[in-house]
């Protein structure tokens, strides 16, 4: 019994020394902490998928034609589209229909990008913005006016091409 106990204490002591060696190895190195709210990370990865945007044509007509393909492919059912018919007096998009109501629940979204891939006109785009926060659940349901806001700092450029 005595030899087992001694081996047990030696193993524990060796494990503790290994842990302390790791601690002392990093103790005198400069920290690599990023002071987040004041200092942002330089860039996200090229394939990063963040906040959703609804893009417009250069003549400010909507790209979304209300086909609801994004609703069909969304695995988390985070997208709601209510389509309406275009009339000659009220032409909103270049198709027969347009999205009268378009909502994305950012709390349910898993940011997989299937909606972006399924869109035939390239209307929905996942940008690089990752700071999504809100005080209420209702503030995290992005409506059409919120989704068609200009992409920050893009001045008309496509958010997919931002690096």
pLDDT tens-place string over residues 67-111: 999 999 999 999 999 999 998 888 999 889 999 999 999 999 999
Domains held by the chain: number: 2
70 and 149 belong to one structural domain = yes
Chain segment 12-38, per-residue pLDDT in tens:
999 999 999 999 988 888 888 888 888
Secondary structure letter of residue 61 according to DSSP: -
**In the block, which residue shows the tokens 């860039």?**
43
Let me know if residue 133 belongs to a domain.
yes
pLDDT at position 151: 62
**CB-based contacts of 84, cutoff 8 Å, min separation 6:** 66, 97, 98, 99, 100
Chain segment 115-149, per-residue pLDDT in tens:
999 999 999 999 888 888 999 999 999 999 999 98
pLDDT at position 70: 95
CB atoms inside a 10 Å sphere around CB 152: 12
For 49, phi and psi rounded to 5 degrees?
A: -120, 120
Specify the pTM: 0.71
The share of the chain scoring above pLDDT 90, in percent, equals 58
57 and 132 belong to one structural domain = yes
Rounded to an integer, the average pLDDT of 3-17 is 92
85 and 138 belong to one structural domain = yes
Q: What angle do CA 73, 86, 95 make, to 5 degrees?
A: 55
pLDDT higher than 60, residue 52: yes
In the chain, alpha helices (H) = 2-27, 69-73, 114-118, 144-147
CB atoms inside a 10 Å sphere around CB 157: 10
Let me know if residue 14 belongs to a domain.
yes
63 and 141 belong to one structural domain = yes
Question: What residues does 83 pair with on adjacent strands?
Answer: 99
25 and 99 belong to one structural domain = no
pLDDT higher than 50, residue 5: yes
Question: What residues does 103 pair with on adjacent strands?
Answer: 80
Chain segment 102-122, per-residue pLDDT in tens:
999 999 999 999 999 999 999
Let me know if residue 39 belongs to a domain.
no
69 and 105 belong to one structural domain = yes
Tokens describing residue 49: 């998928």
């Amino acid at each position: 019994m005595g030899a087992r106990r001694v081996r047990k204490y030696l193993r524990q002591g060796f494990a503790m020394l290994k842990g302390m060696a790791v601690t002392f190895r990093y103790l005198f190195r400069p920290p690599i902490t990023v002071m987040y709210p004041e200092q942002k990370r330089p860039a996200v990865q090229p394939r990063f998928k963040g906040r959703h945007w609804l893009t417009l044509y250069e003549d400010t007509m909507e790209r979304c034609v209300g086909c609801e393909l994004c609703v069909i492919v969304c695995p988390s059912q985070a997208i709601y589209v209510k389509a309406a018919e275009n009339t000659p007096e009220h032409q909103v998009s270049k198709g027969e229909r347009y999205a009268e109501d378009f909502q994305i629940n950012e709390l349910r979204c898993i940011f997989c990008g299937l909606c972006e891939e399924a869109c035939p006109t390239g209307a929905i785009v996942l940008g690089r913005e990752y700071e999504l926060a809100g005080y209420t659940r209702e503030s995290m349901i992005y409506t059409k006016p919120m989704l068609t806001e200009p992409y920050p700092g893009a001045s008309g450029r496509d958010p997919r091409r931002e690096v």
